Homo-oligomer: A and B are copies of this chain.
């Protein structure tokens, strides 16, 4: 379902100076096994609660489906980990112009930029709109201040607050759960021991996903299948762990401080942003677990393939050799079309495409870039999804959560604080 290709980090493809040995995971057996054991021993206990989420009963959310069906607009009000999971699913699984063609539209208020908040009110009919206020701490400044604006606007319009607000927050902590109590707002709870950035498989991600019509069972099934694979596969043979090792080695041993994530599918950009946040907050640390000053964490950068070949490729090929490249792609595209060049075939720049498809083109471009990077000694590896659907997204998201936590064991830092 997800496949990894590490051939372009090997000496054979990128040369001896920057390449790894063919059996490199074996050389790091000890730290790999130690990390794996640490996670497996943590399983079931705080703060590893995120690993239980795919198995939990999400009936309370699913039961909300009928209520959600009443609204023509759903507004996610949250920031960082409270919005990026829902955005990743929206970007990956819904039509690029969803809000132009659907009568169940979705919006994001995910910044304290006043325009980002107020613009939404120009396009939604408040009577048919549900605002989902999401903050784990119940006191995030941007989210709470936006909430106060929404609260006042609903009151000015004379609309019942508990018909238009639904809250996702901690069971006890913070102001939001208390406000929800005072005003009798429907409330979903983020389980204890799940940080914001690991909360996609809680109401934080699942409630917006349900509104969007995402198949929650398939999403969670993908996560469970990855978990099952993780449990039965020795760490040194497990590409999720190996990818963490590759990220770690290129950062610590070759000072590659940029992790360039090249998404060769525009619908994966949201996932890239979600992963960027997960990675940066989990691994960007000043001190390790033994209080040594370490200043860890390569900077993740999300890029669009093939588009950013026209923006950044020259810098990547010719500029400093300071990056590890991770390619993300989808093998079976959701839609595609063949080029029939016909009467234009006398033009050389077009004749070339005849009979090929648009997906063939972007795939060829990706292969070309990978090859050129490798040829120039620039390490890269690839993470391929079989197809773009809820099952595979769930699998990828869970795999990247495991990979991030596993990477933290290599850096010896706390990925949860």
Residues on A facing B (Cβ under 8 Å): 79-81, 84, 95-97, 99-101, 110-120, 122-123, 138-142, 144-149, 151-152, 174-175, 178-179, 257-258, 264-267, 273, 276-277, 280-281, 283-286, 295-297, 299, 301, 304, 306-307, 309-312, 314-323, 333-337, 339-342, 344, 347-350, 352-353, 357-359, 361-362, 365
**Which of the residues B147, B283, B307, B340 comes within 8 Å of A80, measured between beta carbons?**
B307
Docked-complex contact A315 and B113, CB < 8 angstroms: no
B284 contacts A318, C-beta separation under 8 Å: yes
Q: How far, in whole Å, are A71 and B110 apart by their CA atoms in the complex?
A: 33
Contact of A311 among B112, B280, B342, B353 (CB under 8 A): B280
With A and B bound together, what is the CA distance between A110 and B95 in angstroms? Answer: 16
Residue of B nearest to A310 (CB): B80
Partner of A315, one of B299, B311, B314: B299
Ordered nearest first, which 9 A-B pairs have the shortest CB separation? A284-B315, A80-B310, A114-B358, A139-B349, A286-B318, A284-B319, A277-B311, A297-B319, A280-B315
Q: Which B residues are in CB contact (< 8 Å) with A147?
A: 350
Decide if A281 touches B344 in the complex (CB within 8 Å). no
How many angstroms from the CA of A123 to the CA of B81 in the assembled complex? Answer: 31
Q: Give A162 to B350 CA distance when docked, in angstroms.
A: 19
Q: A115-B335, A145-B353, A258-B258 given. 7 additional CB < 8 A pairs?
A: A80-B307, A114-B337, A117-B358, A118-B336, A141-B361, A144-B350, A301-B301
Contact: B353 with A148, CB < 8 Å? yes
Contact call B283/A315, Cβ cutoff below 8 A: yes
Q: Contact check: which of B84, B146, B316, B341 meets A148 at CB < 8 Å? A: B341
Q: What would 13 A/B residue contacts be, using CB atoms closer than 8 Å?
A: A80-B307, A96-B119, A97-B119, A101-B123, A113-B266, A114-B337, A114-B362, A145-B358, A149-B337, A178-B347, A280-B314, A284-B314, A299-B319
Q: If the complex has contacts A95-B119, A141-B349, are A114 and B316 also in contact, measured as CB distance less than 8 A?
A: no
Chain B residues within an 8 Å CB radius of A100: 99-100, 123
Known contacts A144-B350, A301-B301; decide if A307 and B110 are in contact (CB<8 Å). Answer: yes
Q: Cβ of B281 and Cβ of A314 under 8 Å apart?
A: yes
A79 in contact with B310 (CB, 8 Å): yes
Contact with A335, one of B118, B139, B141, B357 (Cβ below 8 angstroms): B118
| Docked complex Cα distance between A120 and B101 (Å) | 11
Question: Quick check: B116 and A266 within 8 Å, CB to CB?
Answer: yes
